[in-house]
Structure 1
Amino acid sequence: MTNGTTVGFAVLYRWRLVVGRERDFEAAWAELTRMIRARCGGLGSRLQRCADGTYCAYAQWPSRATWESMVLDDPRAGELRAAMAAAVEQVLPTETFDVVADLLGPVAH
């Protein structure tokens, strides 16, 4: 459960970033993720730097249908996507998951 909503679906995004553009990517990702959470039904995401230097984001959704129906055509969202794309050297394959058991606890912010 996340904020009282059942997590039924998750997505793992992965990127290899342009050296020196990591902070630009992180800032754009954070703002875009907040928008998706506020407007599209997303349950939030965690951005991580992997041991090999790539980045991955684990995003939680109530359902696959909610994720598939996400529409965020706000001009600011387009700017944020462009900022992220400018910082990406390579987009790695995206993975999707149906949640079988959710034992992640809430994190105090």
Structure 2
Amino acid sequence: MFVAVYWWRVHPGKEEQFREAWRRGTAEITRIYGSYGSRLHQNADGRFVGYAEWPDEATWQAAFDRKMVYDDEEARAMFQDAVADGPPNHAPIFTMTVTDDMLQRSISSSM
């Protein structure tokens, strides 16, 4: 398994808009590109951090090279409108191969 970690700062008052756009975009990326989905976290400084799981690095790289484009234009526009800052070129801050996985999966009511 392979993971990519991303971060974003969101314009004040647009947090819910961002979260909805992130959920919709993540669902599309999972459907189109074969990711295993993602988790969204919020840091104490207000920054959002997304942790996305992929079957392998090659699958992630192919999706990244295609800019993970999907057809939900409204969700993409909502996302872009909400984001105030992020890494250059939308690049992840970490990409890592999983060596040992002790994470317990739970069903989340937030999705």
- The alignment's TM-score, normalised by the length of structure 1, stands at 0.83
Q: Secondary structure at the match of 2:85?
A: strand
Aligned amino acid, residue 105 of structure 2: P
Match of 2:77 in 1: 82
RMSD: 1.6
Match of 1:103 in 2: 102
Match of 1:3 in 2: none
Given that residues 26 and 38 in structure 2 are in contact (C-alpha distance below 8 angstroms), is that contact kept between their aligned partners in structure 1? yes
Shift of 1:83: 1.5
Deviation per residue, 1:23-56 (Å, 9 max, x gap): 1110010011111122211001000111111000
Q: How many residues align?
A: 101
- The alignment's TM-score, normalised by the length of structure 2, stands at 0.81
C-alpha separation between the residues in 1 aligned to 2:21 and 2:85? 17
